[in-house]
Structure 1
């Protein structure tokens, strides 16, 4: 069986697809991945032995230059992404039996159109639940299209969201569909999601409440990371008590120096050492004291098992990795689905959600003091034992048609 996986986004959009690709290959499938041409993604896929088909412009310069929430340039970026699906992704999908897509709506709507034209199976997957229509939650706001604050009926808001999606992307999608002989779609969002989308999140961390949408929850998609930690980082870990990790992954920060200072000072206030992950925010050390170390890319699965707490932005991947490691968390959500994950960490009692995206030394000290209590540490370790590790297996076997009927997916 030949499978094409298509994604466009930052690390959190690419890494899960690599995990699924690896598992599919282990089960005998031929797999390739369409992803942004960023060097770090090319290295990630090459290290996993998975062929990369570069699609679109590099993501990192885009993410680090676009003003959060701004719609400036959005129409052109969306048009480029849609065109890439009908061009590059369509070519890569030739001869495939299935196409699995994730990412922004221009990507998934275009990808489903490609699958429809080729007559192959299409699966839409989300790595967080907030974009899936549900009467139990409000839709996230689209860039340049704020939701009316006076409307409280979630069903009405989701209908409005579908209208916004059509206004923003429908014409471009349908123009390309017409060019390849496909009829127009009148609800581009629901067309992209399909009637049975996959939700690749852990059911403990992210329980899905049943709706009219037949969501299949597979569990989160990870692959075992066997990379050793760098020798200098191992030496730092071995030189004292467990430190506190702070990092914001692929999320840029407008005041990274101030955030780094607040974080390091708050960690020191708790008598702890600090590991500062540079990430796309460019965090760095604030002085040359030996109780702190700055790192680049590292094996978080191994690292989080060695730390006292994880201070982070609240992405799905970092939240789940920290939860699997049993590490207490302090979440400083910056946007998108991150407030959702911050709320889940708080609700489960495995950490603390910081009030607002920008910490002060005092505010982060208060949050960190709570996260480091024995109650949260014990709870975090207990929840770690409930986190599923078979998400890629559930997804891959379902896709290949070899799932064990006696063990249904987590949502069943």
Structure 2
């Protein structure tokens, strides 16, 4: 069997597919990953031994452009931007995935909705099996949670019936993505679909998140199976200079916002809040290019490093709340401060607070005062005890569980 794993997104979207691809290969399945061709993702997949089939464009500069264009736009303009970009992504990603799918029997799609729509069409055109995957339960229709709110398509105030809101979500996705998807279908000689959300979601969805961090209570609105988080083991040693910094002086706090283009003031506020507690900072440059604010020796800047090794050596992790960073910190037993920005990040912030393993920052713009308050919660003995205890509950076999599930379900669907 040959399976194409597809995504278009940041590292949090690509690294799990490296883990899943490696797990599939261990079962004798030929797996390849279609992902943005950024050098960091190519290196990541090479370490996992999984072939890369580049998506329609690298994502780092594309994401920066989208953020800049939407930053000062009105909700209506942001909605038009989403719809316009969907048209480009569906068309260009369809071409990229058509080439990547050569010789494959099935495609499993993660990432941006238009990218998954392109994967669904490639599967339909080629007679391949298809499954959608997601890294957070909030994206799945359920009476237990509300749908995501899109620009210019607010959820109506006062409506508490989540079933009704998910019915409205169908109309919202049709409005934002219907023209892009049905326009591409028309170019292929395919009939239009009336419900683009359910077309992209397909018959069954693979939920790739840890059941302790992000439990799935089940839903009669969709068939979803939870496999656990896809974690790729990382055996890389930490750089010598970083190890020396970790070994010397007071405890350290990690600060990193991954692919989120936060303002440099966020890094400044974090360093000052950490200093106020007599601690030292390990700051990840990330896509925002964060770094020390002066020449004092209590702050160490890092690029791309082994988070699995690093998080086990810090007192707390301040981050944006990406699914991958959240599970990595939880698995290491590190207390967390989440400063959520977009998407599913507020959900992970809330879960960290509910589990007692950290603090959810109130809003996306941190200050020295607000981070100091959040750090007080995260560094409290009670929080650290909870974080250490929960670490042993985080499953590391999600990719293996998913690989066996895919082999069984996709294999059965072909008979």
TM range (shorter): over 0.9
Cα deviation 1:365-398 (Å, max 9, x = unaligned): 1111121111111110110100011000011111
Check whether the contact 2:250–2:278 (CA below 8 A) recurs between aligned residues: no
Task: Give the SS at the match of 1:168.
Answer: helix
| CA distance in structure 1 between the aligned counterparts of 2:151 and 2:28, rounded to whole angstroms | 41
| CA distance in structure 1 between the aligned counterparts of 2:246 and 2:13, rounded to whole angstroms | 30
| CA distance in structure 1 between the aligned counterparts of 2:58 and 2:152, rounded to whole angstroms | 23
How many correspondences in the alignment? 401
Q: How far did residue 47 of structure 1 move?
A: 2.6
Task: Give the SS at the match of 2:359.
Answer: strand
**Map of 1:4 onto structure 2:** 4
* 2:257 paired with 1:219: no
Aligned with 2:179 (options 159, 171, 181): 171
Aligned with 2:267 (options 256, 260, 268): 260
Task: Give the SS at the match of 2:327.
Answer: helix
**Map of 1:280 onto structure 2:** 287
Check whether the contact 1:56–1:80 (CA below 8 A) recurs between aligned residues: no
Q: How far did residue 273 of structure 1 move?
A: 0.8
**Map of 1:346 onto structure 2:** 353
Task: Give the SS at the match of 2:22.
Answer: helix
Q: Say if 1:144 and 1:10 are closer, same or farther in 2 by CA, change over 3 A.
A: farther
Q: How far did residue 72 of structure 1 move?
A: 5.4
Aligned with 1:337 (options 339, 344, 353): 344
| CA distance in structure 1 between the aligned counterparts of 2:21 and 2:224, rounded to whole angstroms | 21
| CA distance in structure 1 between the aligned counterparts of 2:185 and 2:285, rounded to whole angstroms | 42
Where in structure 1 are there 5+ consecutive unaligned residues? 404-412
Task: Give the SS at the match of 2:99.
Answer: helix
Cα deviation 1:211-236 (Å, max 9, x = unaligned): 11121000001110011111110110
Range 184-193 or range 71-80, more displaced: 71-80
**Map of 1:20 onto structure 2:** 20
Cα deviation 1:277-330 (Å, max 9, x = unaligned): 111122110111111111111100000000000011111010000000000001
Task: Give the SS at the match of 1:149.
Answer: coil
| CA distance in structure 2 between the aligned counterparts of 1:73 and 1:171, rounded to whole angstroms | 13
Check whether the contact 2:79–2:176 (CA below 8 A) recurs between aligned residues: no
| CA distance in structure 2 between the aligned counterparts of 1:14 and 1:36, rounded to whole angstroms | 8
**Map of 2:257 onto structure 1:** 248
**Map of 2:146 onto structure 1:** 138
Show the 5 A alignment for 1:59-70: 59-65=59-65, 66=67, 67-68=70-71, 70=78
**Map of 1:366 onto structure 2:** 373
More helix per residue: 2
Tell me the TM-score normalised to structure 1 length.
0.93
* 2:35 paired with 1:35: yes
Tell me the TM-score normalised to structure 2 length.
0.93
Q: How far did residue 128 of structure 1 move?
A: 1.1
**Map of 1:410 onto structure 2:** none
Check whether the contact 2:83–2:180 (CA below 8 A) recurs between aligned residues: no
Task: Give the SS at the match of 2:259.
Answer: coil
Check whether the contact 1:85–1:114 (CA below 8 A) recurs between aligned residues: no
| CA distance in structure 2 between the aligned counterparts of 1:175 and 1:402, rounded to whole angstroms | 31
Check whether the contact 2:82–2:176 (CA below 8 A) recurs between aligned residues: no
Range 276-285 or range 44-53, more displaced: 44-53
Q: How far did residue 111 of structure 1 move?
A: 1.0
Aligned with 1:156 (options 161, 164, 181): 164
**Map of 2:319 onto structure 1:** 312
| CA distance in structure 2 between the aligned counterparts of 1:397 and 1:302, rounded to whole angstroms | 28
Task: Give the SS at the match of 2:34.
Answer: strand
Q: Compute the RMSD of aligned alpha carbons.
A: 1.7
Q: How far did residue 402 of structure 1 move?
A: 9.2
* 2:132 paired with 1:119: no
Where in structure 2 are there 5+ consecutive unaligned residues? 411-415
Aligned with 1:239 (options 244, 248, 252): 248
Check whether the contact 1:342–1:352 (CA below 8 A) recurs between aligned residues: yes
**Map of 2:103 onto structure 1:** 95
Q: Say if 1:53 and 1:265 are closer, same or farther in 2 by CA, change over 3 A.
A: same
Cα deviation 1:248-286 (Å, max 9, x = unaligned): 011111x32x21221111111111111011111221101
